[in-house]
Structures are given as structure tokens and as C-alpha cells.
Structure 1
Amino acid sequence: MFPERLTFSIAHWVNAWVDALVTQHGMAFRRFSDSLLWAVVQLEGLLRATPWWLVLLVVAALAWHATRRVLPALLIVGLLFLVGVMGLWDKLMQTLALMLVATAIAVVIGIPLGVLAGRSDRVRTMLLPLLDVMQTLPSFVYLIPVLMLFGLGKVPAIFATVIYAVPPLIRLTDLGIRQVDREVMEAANAFGASRWQQLFGVQLPLALPSIMAGLNQTIMMALSMVVVASMIGARGLGEEVLVGIQTLNVGKGLEAGLAIVILAVAIDRITQAYGRPERVVDP
């Protein structure tokens, strides 16, 4: 047995910090939570009100524009049509709305931080340990303070998803910026380009394949959180999986699991196609 006199706990300090945060800034968090919830509900309502055939047409157009091939576009549309046939279309739209909002927040946070890390060794050194913790810490650990700040529902699910899914986008954006050829940057500098012109005119376009790969990984990791999100009040396909687990209904859980896989495959194929290097250099 480990000696009692050598043990200590940080639980009291963490609890005191979270309690102080809730007491002092609880109303601000609540207002932010209400605004975010309004945005999610509006997007979810729009997706659920849109005719299914129109959603499939939009997906088909996106898939064809990304891949420039008819067969993959038809395959993606056919898989999504299968989700509707299984009676899970409404749940699919709920999950899609939650994932789109979480991904948008991850992009707003992840790409600027990745650019900063790619252009500054000091920022990168500070971020790497934090990203390691975010990727390895079990999601249920940071769900506790998130639930205290925002309560049950879609908002804490979004924040838990963002915390879990944003690290790949930061890392791959950083990698893409650092992999830009030094000679290209020297040429841009020789032509008198400012730092902003170098960033938006040279670095970001050349780093786009890596950034798109990071976005792809972020979306995939966000989808992997839908079941965890359902445990704290978010609805959608994850809720169906959870109900299947609770009632030992294998068929119900399998149908919802297949629907999540289909959504992941559809988004994966589209984002991967948009991130191909040969596509980026197309005029």
C-alpha cells in the first residue's frame, strides 16, 4: 500500500476554482449558452423542415463538385437515402445540425491557433502539451465542469465535442504552415509581400491540403462523440444507440450505428476530395 503521508489531492483546488467560476461568471455563461442553443435549434429546424429530396440533391451537387465523378456522388446519395428508408432521417438531421455547429466552432478556434503555432515556435511549445491533454483526457472528465456551467442539453454536448475534436485541426494546420517551402516564402518576401499577404497569398493556399485533412479528422472525431453527447441531453442518432444499449435492442442500436457510419462516410469522401493537392492548384 502506498504511504498515506506521501499522497495529496488536487480535487479540492479544482472544485474551488470551478465553484468560483460558476458563482462569478454563471450568468455570462448562461447568456452565451442561450445564444448558442438558439443557433443550433434554428439550424436543426431548417434541416428538418427542408424536403428530404432537396437535401439529397444538395449533397449530390457537393459530392459531384468535390469528386468530379458521378458514381461516388450517386453512392453517397444512395447511402443517405438508405438512412431515410430505415426511418432515421429526422435523427440524422439532428445529428448533422449538432455536428455542423461543433465543427464551425472548431474551425474558428483551430485554424487561427494552428496558424499561430505554425508561425511561432513559442506558441507551438505552449500548445502541444495542452493538445496532448485534450486528446488523451477521457471526455467524461471535462463533461463535469461543462455540465456545471451550461447544464444538460445540446450546448454542453457541443463544447465536449469541440474539446475532443479540435486538436487534429490545430496540429495539421500547424504542420501545413511549417511545410511551406522556404524558397517560396523567401521569394514572396523578396517581392515585398507583407506578413498578411504572405499568410493569405502563399502559406494558407499551399497549406490547404493539410488543413483540409485536419478538418476531415475533426469532423470524424466529432461524429464519434454523438453517443457521448446523447448521454448529456443531445438528441439524434446517438440517442438511438443509447436507447438500444439501455433496452438491449440490438437491431435498433445497429441501425443507428450504421446511420452514423453512413454520415461519416459521406462527409469523409467529400472533405477528402476537396483537400486533394491536385484540386487545390486547379485554376
Structure 2
Amino acid sequence: MLDIPVGSFFEFLINWLTDNLGGFFDLITVTVKTFLVGVENLLLFPHPIVMIILLAALAWYVSGKGVGIFTVAGLILIEGMDMWDGTMETLALIITAVFIALVLGVPLGIWASKSKTVERIVRPILDFMQTMPAFVYLIPAVLFFGLGEVPGIIATLIFAMPPAVRLTNLGIRQVPEEIREAALAFGSDNKQMLLKVELPVAMPTILAGVNQTIMLALSMVVIAALIGAGGLGQPVVEGLQRLDIGLGFEGGLAIVILAVFLDRVTQSLGDSA
């Protein structure tokens, strides 16, 4: 039988990148860490009661009374379980990873919607990113960025970015041709067509991609904690290691509350777009 050393080639590639692009990865580490620390400080600076009021008001305004009440009750429970700092750290990690994923993914989705060649190239890469087991992303992330929050963010954004690209591409391609023809008849150029016609019409689909990106990022919380990302994944990992059922359940419950809050708010934004 043929012996194809795929693993050896991948190991050689990772080692070559580590040896030759160390400065580039250090720059990414500093940039991502700076952004993350800024978001964490912003979320942790106010008193928890102030943050609970702000987040509940946001949920009430965007998603309605029921979600607002759930947010108040859920966040008070998180504070009562002494999981507040971990929750804000997780929220900061998700905000950072999703922000980077959208900055990269939405323009790539727009490009793919305008070029069949780009779409043919991007589609198998997205398939690979979505089907590769999430644990595998931790290996190069640790080799490139060390242990801690930054490799957790990098692994999270790689895993979570495909829906942003796919649904941006899909949303723009599904804009009715009649709308495009009407815009052209009124003299729209390519920039106006994209910004004033295609993106507004495609916005519900794009926001559905944002929602899916956030949910996939949340699913990486516990996995990222294995390489020192901290947050709510840490008590779950510690509960597993020490067979501490209570600690693990509290961490998991806090993740569920945060997930429901983010899901309902982003879903409502998509529905109202």
C-alpha cells in the first residue's frame, strides 16, 4: 500500500511557519490580546448590577419582555453562583473572535458572491474548516501563539467563521434580479448597488450568519479552556478533571444562560432587519 506522509508534511509546514514567521505571529498575539483586554476591562469595570440592567434593557428592547426578564433572572443567577467574572471573560472572548471572524468573513462572502471563481475556491476551504474536529485547531494555535486566550480566540474564529462567509454570499446572490435592474435603471454604480441595494436586502441572511457564528464561537468555550483560554470553560474543565459535578454544572449552566441571551438578541436583530 502507498505510504503518504500527510501528517509529516503538515508538521514540517507548521514548523517552517513557526521558525520563519515568528514576528508576524507575535504581532497578531499582541494585537488580539490588546483588543481582548480592552473588551474585558470594559465589561468588568461597571458593577455587576449595572451590567445586568444594561444587558437586560438591551434584551428587552431588541427581543421583548420575556427575554428581558430571562436575562435579569439568568444574570442574577450567574452572579449568585460566583461566575460573573468568568462570564464577562467568555463574553469578551466571543466578542473578539466574532468581530475578527466578521471582519474577515463578510468581505470574503461579498467577494465570493461577485466571482464564481472565488466561490469555487472558497467553498472547499469552508467545508474543511467546518468539518475538521475542533480539537485539531488547538495544535497549530498553540504552536503559533502559545497557551492562553489568544490561541483560544484564533481557534474559535477559524471554527466559527464559515457561516459568516456562506450566508453573506448566499444573501447577496439571492437578491432579486428585479431589484438590481431597478437600481441600474436609476443609475446606480457598483458601489451604490452593493451598499444601498444588495447589502440592505441581504441583511436578514447576513445577520443569520452572524447568529450562527456566535453560536459556534460559544460551542468552542470549553474546548478553548483546555489551552488556557479561561472564562466559563475553565470551571467545566476543572469539574471534569476533579469529578466535581457541582462546579461543572454551574459553569455549564452559565454558558447556557449566556448562549440563550446572545441567540435571542441576534435572532431578533435578524428578524427586524
Q: Which range, TM-score by smaller chain? A: over 0.9
Identify the match of residue 139 of structure 2 among 123, 144, 157: 144
Which secondary structure state, in structure 1, belongs to the residue aligned with residue 111 of structure 2? helix
- The 2-side partners of 1:39 and 1:191 are apart by 42
Identify the match of residue 62 of structure 1 among 47, 50, 58: 58
Aligned residue pairs: how many?
A: 273
Identify the match of residue 20 of structure 1 among 16, 23, 27: 16
TM-score normalised according to structure 1 size: 0.93
Match of 2:200 in 1: 205
Match of 1:95 in 2: 90
- The 1-side partners of 2:194 and 2:269 are apart by 20
The correspondence of residues 186-201 of structure 1 with structure 2, limited to 5 A, is 186-201=181-196
Shift of 1:31: 2.3
Pair 1:80 & 2:75 matched: yes
- The 2-side partners of 1:133 and 1:270 are apart by 29
Pair 1:173 & 2:168 matched: yes
Pair 1:233 & 2:241 matched: no
Pair 1:29 & 2:61 matched: no
- The 2-side partners of 1:253 and 1:12 are apart by 37
Shift of 1:12: 2.5
Match of 1:50 in 2: 46
Pair 1:185 & 2:180 matched: yes
Which secondary structure state, in structure 2, belongs to the residue aligned with residue 234 of structure 1? coil
- The 1-side partners of 2:72 and 2:162 are apart by 30
The amino acid across from 1:79 in the alignment is: G
The amino acid across from 2:206 in the alignment is: I
Shift of 1:134: 0.2
Match of 1:164 in 2: 159
Match of 1:252 in 2: 247
Match of 1:8 in 2: 4
Shift of 1:160: 0.2
Q: Which runs of 5+ in 2 are unaligned?
A: none
Which secondary structure state, in structure 1, belongs to the residue aligned with residue 161 of structure 2? helix
Match of 1:126 in 2: 121
Shift of 1:272: 0.5
The amino acid across from 1:226 in the alignment is: V
- The 2-side partners of 1:122 and 1:228 are apart by 34
Q: Deviations over 1:160-195 (max 9, x none)?
A: 000100101111111111111100001111111011
Aligned Cα root-mean-square deviation (Å): 1.2
Deviates more, 1:187-196 or 1:14-23: 14-23
Deviates more, 1:216-225 or 1:57-66: 57-66
Q: In the alignment, is the contact (CA less than 8 A) between 2:141 and 2:154 conserved in 1?
A: yes
Deviates more, 1:132-141 or 1:236-245: 132-141
Which secondary structure state, in structure 2, belongs to the residue aligned with residue 128 of structure 1? helix
Which secondary structure state, in structure 1, belongs to the residue aligned with residue 196 of structure 2? helix
Which secondary structure state, in structure 1, belongs to the residue aligned with residue 73 of structure 2? helix
Match of 2:218 in 1: 223
Moved >4 Å (runs of 4+): none
- The 2-side partners of 1:75 and 1:46 are apart by 23
Q: Which runs of 5+ in 1 are unaligned?
A: none
The correspondence of residues 255-274 of structure 1 with structure 2, limited to 5 A, is 255-274=250-269
Change (3 A) 1:7 1:254: same
Identify the match of residue 109 of structure 2 among 114, 132, 139: 114
Which secondary structure state, in structure 1, belongs to the residue aligned with residue 21 of structure 2? helix
